[in-house]
Structure 1
Amino acid sequence: MAGNSCDNCMNYMYDEEYDCYVCQVYLDEDEMSRFLSNTMDHCPHYQLQDEYRIVRKQM
């Protein structure tokens, strides 16, 4: 996906049962089709994994 990577998304979590990283967001059939065919320009569910965001708000 251009512009945002699953690797640094909050929804991309390690699943111990499957022993791999998976997206926690439910994609509907159209979104999944675009994702698997690499035609999705950006993920509408992408959220930057930024553990320092809360600290910056407290300053």
Structure 2
Amino acid sequence: MAEASNCEMCNNFVYDDEDECYVCDMDLDEDDMVRFLMGNTASCPYYQSNDEYLIVRHQM
């Protein structure tokens, strides 16, 4: 089951001190970058939940 992604909840969405903003830490290709910039991230192949308790809740 593919999980809907939200960049703000992704482990790959990190703060860049040099640019002083949040960026995707993955090496995106051109199509992925356009999708990221347009906000169409529901099918992001790089999404990783930063919810540490997701597995625990799934096992309950």
Q: Which runs of 4+ in 1 moved over 2 A?
A: 33-41, 50-53
1:34 maps to 35
Q: Which runs of 5+ in 1 are unaligned?
A: none
Is 1:22 the equivalent of 2:23?
A: yes
Sequence identity percentage: 48
Q: 2:10 is matched by which residue type in structure 1?
A: C
Distance 1:23 1:40, change over 3 A: closer
Q: Which runs of 5+ in 2 are unaligned?
A: none
Contact 2:5 2:42 (8 Å CA) reproduced: no
TM-score normalised by structure 2 residue count: 0.66
Larger radius of gyration: 1
Distance 1:8 1:20, change over 3 A: same
Which residues of 2 match residues 1-59 of structure 1 at below 5 A?
A: 3-39=4-40, 41-52=42-53
Q: How many residue pairs were aligned?
A: 52
Q: 1:1-59 CA deviation, whole Å, 9 max, x = no partner?
A: xx210000000001111111110001111222333345554100000002446xx5xxx
TM-score normalised by structure 1 residue count: 0.67
